[in-house]
Amino acid sequence: MRPFRTLTSKAVPLDAVNVDTDQIIPKQFLKRIERSGYGEFLFFDWRKNADGSPNPSFPLNQPQYQGAEILVAGRNFGCGSSREHAAWALSDYGFRCVISSSFADIFFSNAGKNGILLVVLPEEKIAQLLERAKKPGYKLTVSLESQTVQDDDGFQESFTIDAFRRSCLLEGLDDIGLTMRHKDALADYERQHDKAFWYAPRSHANRQESHA
């Protein structure tokens, strides 16, 4: 997982509330056994017309937002089912940060474990960012180190984040990475366990019991 410290990027406005995980990644695309390749299906039902052609009104299809790594959305983003695929799709597409006034709890956890920083700001600040992001070339700088969001036009806001999640994102540690920090202790435990279980001589009482 890539560490997240400071990111400057174009911001995509998604002016919608209650964006659920089935809109983020529709259920028909959940058949893959790997965690990659979901980016092309992100917001599929909104990105595509009924005939499969790109919907020009959807922000992700507009040239000014190509390459953006920050998504600004309305409240209660990531609600609905608990599918982790939603975080995989956002990450695979290229988003590293989502800014909203609130997130669904399970999505919040899934996103953090997949290296996506979720920033919670007041609704009035989200409204400002949604409007500003309509301007071509608009960029935001999100710093996890200083816990701030700012632009070049005078916007600056601080945000809070759980200390443990902040540390994991700064160091680029997912659940596997956290476990591997203890790999030497784990390996030593396994060696001691194997030695005790397989090689320790059984007592005379145990041998008599086994023949009883």
> Sign of the CA dihedral 57, 138, 9, 156?
negative
Q: What is this structure's pTM?
A: 0.83
Sheet holding 139-143, edge to edge: 117-120, 97-100, 70-73, 6-14, 139-143, 148-150, 156-158
Domain ranges of the chain: 6-173
**Position 47 confidence tier, pLDDT thresholds 50, 70, 90:** very high
Summarised one tens digit per residue, pLDDT across range 162-189 is 999 999 999 998 765 655 555 566 666 6
Q: Which residues does residue 7 pair with via DSSP β-bridges, in sequence order?
A: 142
**CA 123, chain centre distance (Å):** 21
- 3-state SS record for 81-115: CCCCHHHHHHHHHCCCEEEECCECHHHHHHHHHCC
> Homologous superfamily of 6-173 in CATH?
Aconitase, domain 4 (3.20.19.10)
pLDDT tens digit sequence for 86-141? 999 999 999 999 999 999 999 999 999 999 999 999 999 999 999 999 999 999 99
